[in-house]
């Protein structure tokens, strides 16, 4: 008799369901292969028909295999029939195909590997409640088609990016997550406290300033692929903790970063899905390089149907014209904004979400780009771009500002905004300025939102579908439903 409590300490499957299907493709219905196999996985379905029992085993290999258990062959037949949907089972026996043509393992021996003491979700409807899907991902991964696939795509894409960067001579590094001064992005940080040092730390909002210190230190091609944290609202595109690829390349500028963005995205897509064509909702989108390159001025002008000036201080005629246009489009502006700043606001509010095909939106106002170098030929603008696809920002990059004096001025401007109530404005990082004063060569830097990229590759509408355990409000019992 099989005692349900008698769980083995180890088990050795000899083959996966996927491999069985591949190996026995030519086995005819009603035929036996003469080959034995041992499989293990979770029982997803069970059909008892008197002296015959069928089970469907999912072994997470991307396929499923039927267990064929005749009473005359299967030991402890009654107990086998009593298995629950959701139980983990190991079974071995001859590989055969039933009369109806289903490839099966005839159960000549079997072990219960773990019992599911909770009823497994409905085999037909699955989990309809998205809340439960995210809170109990361990169930969702088995039950919801596509969930596991999304994370396989994620894994493959990330591996491809690492491989691509390694091939280009980039060094992967890890910089602090606990920052004494939050910096590198305009974002509100999480605050935490170190007891022994008795001081507050901020969870990093970007690794940027540390990575550029490394360029100063001679790591001329560096990248970090890791989690960053921003204390902001949640949305289908925003998670409080998310994964960012940041890389810096000495002697390069933002044009080089465009090529790199295209190449990395295409490599990730090809490795993960076999194609650079992705499907998002009803529409498809092609990540094949090169992507469209357009300036923010061009895009906004295109969208509004009139030429808008990018140059001009807050009191200029240009700014006044832009302000009127913003009002016409229902975009709120503030008194002190330059023409370029107003342009950027219109872009963010009205244009970005309309850009479907991959596009490099180039040349942002200097005021909103405190770490980017001034444009070599356009006044008031910085050499910065954002890559947008499916109406969502995918990457942000610039030719890095290397001059310590100008960087100090930019920090000062941020401090000024901070004092007038902008809690996301940056604070001056003296050590970073010191690093710059040792000399930062011309450098291109790129930040690529990994979750956003994976969303594209999976066709996911929400970032929660590409994060295994997305941030949710904790429940009283932390997840029970």
Partner RNA sequence: GCCCCUGUAGCCAAGGCCGGCAAGGCAUCGGACUUUUAAUCCGCAGACCGUGGGUUCGAAUCCCACCGGGGGCACCA
Closest approach, Cβ 234 to RNA, in A, equals 7
Query: Least separation, in Å, of the C-beta of 236 and RNA?
Result: 4
Comparison of 156 and 456: residue with beta carbon closer to RNA: 456
User: What whole-number distance in Å separates Cα of residue 56 and Cα of residue 43?
Assistant: 6
Query: Residue 125, SS3?
Result: coil
Sign of CA dihedral 438, 376, 372, 255: negative
Nearest to RNA of 98, 437 (CB atom): 98
Nearer Cβ to RNA, position 216 or 384? 384
Distance CA 99, CA 393 (A): 54
Q: How far is the CB of 101 from RNA (least distance, A)?
A: 6
* Nearest of 319, 320, 321, 394 to residue 352 by alpha carbon: 394
Pairwise CA distance, residues 235 & 145, whole Å: 23
Distance, in Å, from the CA atom of 299 to the CA atom of 352, rounded to the nearest integer, reads 9
Closer residue to RNA, CB minimum distance, 376 or 473:
473
Q: How far is the CB of 314 from RNA (least distance, A)?
A: 19
Between 16 and 66, CB nearer to RNA: 66
Nearer to RNA, 90 or 121 (CB): 121
Smallest gap from residue 300 Cβ to RNA (A): 12
Minimum distance from residue 467 beta carbon to RNA (Å):
11
Nearer to RNA, 58 or 386 (CB): 386
What is the CB neighbour count within 10 angstroms for residue 354?
11
Task: Give the relative orientation of helices 147-167 and 450-458 as an angle to the nearest 10 degrees.
Answer: 130
Q: Which residue has the tokens 């170190």?
A: 194
Closest CA to 237 of 424, 461, 396: 461
Q: Which two tokens stand for residue 455?
A: 């969303």
Shortest Å distance, C-beta 167 to RNA? 26
CB 380 within 8 A of CB 440: no
Give Cα 291 distance to the centre of its chain: 21
Closest CB 184 distance from RNA, rounded Å: 10
Instruction: Kindly tell me which of 170 and 242 has the beta carbon lying closer to RNA.
Output: 242
| DSSP letter, residue 371 | T
Q: Minimum distance from CB of 199 to RNA (Å)?
A: 24
How many other β-carbons are positioned within 10 Å of the β-carbon of residue 101? 10
- Residues 56 and 22: their CA atoms lie apart, in Å, by 17
Neighbouring residues of 152: CB distance < 8 A, sequence distance ≥ 6: 272
DSSP β-ladder status, 88-97 and 64-70 = unpaired
- Of 25 and 195, nearer to RNA (C-beta) is 25
Q: Quickly list H helices, 232-295.
A: 254-273
β-partners of residue 250 are: 443
Residues 451, 244: Cα–Cα separation, whole Å: 8
Residue 68 or 248: the one with the smaller Cβ distance to RNA is: 68
Q: 4 or 324, CB closer to RNA?
A: 4
Instruction: Give the residue from 410, 390, 414 showing the smallest Cα distance to 400.
Output: 410
For the bound state, the minimum distance from the C-beta of residue 217 to RNA, rounded and expressed in Å, comes to 26
CA 84 – CA 67 distance, rounded (Å): 14
Q: Which C-beta is closer to RNA: that of 214 or that of 351?
A: 351
Buried b (16+ CB within 10 A) or exposed e, 231-241: beeeeebebee
């Amino acid at each position: 008799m099989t005692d349900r409590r008698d769980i083995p300490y180890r088990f050795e499957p000899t083959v996966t369901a996927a491999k069985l299907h591949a190996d026995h493709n030519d086995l005819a219905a009603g035929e036996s292969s003469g080959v034995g196999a041992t499989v293990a996985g979770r029982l997803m379905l069970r059909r008892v028909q008197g002296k015959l029992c069928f089970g469907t085993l999912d072994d997470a290999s991307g396929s499923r295999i039927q267990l064929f258990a005749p009473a005359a062959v299967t030991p402890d037949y009654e107990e086998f029939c009593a298995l629950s949907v959701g139980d983990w089972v190991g079974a071995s026996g001859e590989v055969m195909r039933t009369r109806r043509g289903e490839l099966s393992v005839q159960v000549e021996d079997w072990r219960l590997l773990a019992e599911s003491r909770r009823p497994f979700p409905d085999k037909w409807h699955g989990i309809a409640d998205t809340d439960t899907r995210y809170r109990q991902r361990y169930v969702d991964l088995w039950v919801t088609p596509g969930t596991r696939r999304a994370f396989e795509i994620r894994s493959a894409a990330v591996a491809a990016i690492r491989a691509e960067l390694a091939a280009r001579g980039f060094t992967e590094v890890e910089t602090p997550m606990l920052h004494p001064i939050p910096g590198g992005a305009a974002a509100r940080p999480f605050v935490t406290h170190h007891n022994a040092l008795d001081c507050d730390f901020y969870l990093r909002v970007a690794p940027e300033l540390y990575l550029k210190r490394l360029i100063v230190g001679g790591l001329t091609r560096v990248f970090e692929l890791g989690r960053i944290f921003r204390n902001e609202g949640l949305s289908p595109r925003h998670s409080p903790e998310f994964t960012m690829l940041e890389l810096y390349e000495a002697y390069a500028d933002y044009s080089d970063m465009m090529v790199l963005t295209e190449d990395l995205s295409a490599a990730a897509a090809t490795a993960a899905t076999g194609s650079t064509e992705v499907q998002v909702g009803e529409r498809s989108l092609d990540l094949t390089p090169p992507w469209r390159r357009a300036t923010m001025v061009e895009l906004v002008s295109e969208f509004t149907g009139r030429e808008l000036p990018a140059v001009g201080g807050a009191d200029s005629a240009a700014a006044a014209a832009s302000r009127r246009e913003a009002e016409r489009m229902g975009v709120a502006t503030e008194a002190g904004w330059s023409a370029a700043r107003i342009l950027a606001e219109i872009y963010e509010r009205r244009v970005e979400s309309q850009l479907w095909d991959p596009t490099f939106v180039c040349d942002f106002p200097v005021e909103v780009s405190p770490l980017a170098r001034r444009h070599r030929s356009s006044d008031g603008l910085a050499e910065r771009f954002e890559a947008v696809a499916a109406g969502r920002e995918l990457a942000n990059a610039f030719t890095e500002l290397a001059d310590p004096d100008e960087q100090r001025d930019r920090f000062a401007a941020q401090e000024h905004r901070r004092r007038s109530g902008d809690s996301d404005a940056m604070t001056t990082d003296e050590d970073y300025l010191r690093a710059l004063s040792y000399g930062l060569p011309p450098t291109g830097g790129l930040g690529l939102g990994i979750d956003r990229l994976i969303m594209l590759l999976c066709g996911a509408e929400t970032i929660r579908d590409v994060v295994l355990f997305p941030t949710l409000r904790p429940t009283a019992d932390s997840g029970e439903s």
